[in-house]
Structure 1
Amino acid sequence: MDQYFAEEAILSMTSHIIFIIITWRVLQSVNFDAFFRKQRVFEARVLIIFIT
């Protein structure tokens, strides 16, 4: 019984990591420069992390 929960947890964590990586890669291809001022690079990066 415990092994079933462990396998399910590992599968769940792996799938979450894979989808986070896919989302991160897609968001990197979007040009967010039009939405932010030049001095707001840090805020733009934080927003991308939160969206991911």
Structure 2
Amino acid sequence: MVSGFGQQALISIMSHLVFIALAWWALQALRFETLLRANHVFQARVLYVLLSIVIGSAVSNFFLDYLLWSQQLPLILQNITFL
């Protein structure tokens, strides 16, 4: 049982990191420079990081929830057969 929690934690960490990196990569396609003031490079980089974390975490949570729900679907069928 405890090893299951360890595996779930590892999957969650890896999922978050992958989707944050994917969000970072996708945000590079946008041209935020036109929206930002000149000479605010550090603030622009912080904005990229924060947006990447927000978008990547949201997508990762969706993915992990979907994975959990798909694993719980067989339990519905088991409960219906006992009714």
| TM-score (norm: length of structure 1) | 0.90
Partner of 2:5: 5
Moved over 2 A (4+): none
1:41 positional shift: 1.1
**RMSD (CA atoms):** 0.8
| TM-score (norm: length of structure 2) | 0.59
* Residues 1:48 and 2:48 are matched in the alignment: yes
The structure where helix makes up a greater share of residues is: 2
- Consecutive unaligned residues in structure 2, runs of 5 or more: 53-83
Partner of 2:15: 15
Give the fraction of aligned pairs with identical amino acids, expressed as a percent: 37
- Consecutive unaligned residues in structure 1, runs of 5 or more: none
